[in-house]
Amino acid sequence: MADLLLMNPNSDAATTRAMVAIARTILPGIGGWTAPSGPGMIVTDEALRTAAELVAAAVLPPVRGIIVSAFGDPGRAALSRRMACPVVGIGAAAARAAGAGGRRFAVVTTTPGLRTSIDALMQAEAGTGSYAGCHLTPGDPVALMADADRLDAALLAGIETAARDGAGAVIIGGGPLAEAAERLAAVSPVPLVAPIRAAARELRQHVGAEQGADLPPERADSVKFLPR
């Protein structure tokens, strides 16, 4: 049994596998959990609330640390109150990483139905940073996710707009968007913050230096992600 756990509040097991693979570049051996019900992709505040209930009520084995891997961090606070281990949400971790050192940052994402909750989370967790707002891709987010080329083009257009508006870094806002963030890192005009990577780095710090002492280096094609 893995002693670290990535929880996918969406019900898509393929998305869980993709997110776990990215987290394992920083936390080798981390395991995955997929929501037993609910939508395959969270696109509304109602779905976010349902996901929060599923995460908060999940029956989990004893672990040393947990990542809640949906951008709104559904259920993270409630789960943290009942678990005797660190629980890191990818949205808050991304905001803290993006805002470090007073940086101005923006979010680019596919889910207009979550804009209000995204704005609230980013503003709450920006620290000394300056949150410059959320840029949304056009069209239906589920259809866009089904076409990697269209998704990458739409996200890159949002990144370029955010950069022109003065953002010094951009968060790709969504756990299921993690693979797109990996693909876009090398072509982005500004450093990207990949939320799963940000959360994995935070959790590594929480669980102790011994966990990270022998970690492999991160992939060379991720040089445009913000450093640790």
CATH number of the domain residue 11 falls in: 3.40.50.12500
Q: Which residues pair with 104 in a beta bridge?
A: 130
101 lies in the same domain as 137: yes
132 lies in the same domain as 152: yes
187 lies in the same domain as 98: yes
Range of the domain at 135: 92-195
105 lies in the same domain as 79: no
Residue 143 burial by Cβ neighbours in a 10 Å radius (0-12, 13-18, 19+): exposed
How many independent structural domains does the chain possess? 2
Distances (CA, A) of 34 to 14, 90, 146: 9, 15, 20
85 lies in the same domain as 20: yes
Residues 6+ apart with CB under 8 A from 213: none
- Give the Cα separation of 82 and 171 in Å (integer): 29
Q: Digits of tens for pLDDT over the chain (228 positions)? A: 479 999 999 999 999 999 999 999 999 999 999 999 988 899 999 999 999 999 999 999 999 999 999 999 999 999 999 999 999 999 999 999 999 999 999 999 999 999 999 999 999 999 999 999 999 999 999 999 999 999 999 999 999 999 999 999 999 999 889 999 999 999 999 999 999 999 999 999 999 744 444 444 444 333 345 543
26 lies in the same domain as 71: yes
Q: What is the pLDDT of residue 226?
A: 52
180 lies in the same domain as 201: no
Burial 113-134 (b: 16+ CB within 10 A, else e): ebbebbeebbeebbeebbbbbb
pTM above 0.85, yes or no: yes
Which stretches of 84-223 are assigned E, i.e. beta strand?
87-89, 104-109, 130-136, 169-172, 192-193
- Give the Cα separation of 72 and 217 in Å (integer): 29
Token couple for 102? 């007073």
Helical (H) or strand (E) element with 101: none
Asked, for residue 110, whether it belongs to a domain, the answer is yes
123 lies in the same domain as 74: no
32 lies in the same domain as 101: no
103 lies in the same domain as 191: yes
179 lies in the same domain as 190: yes
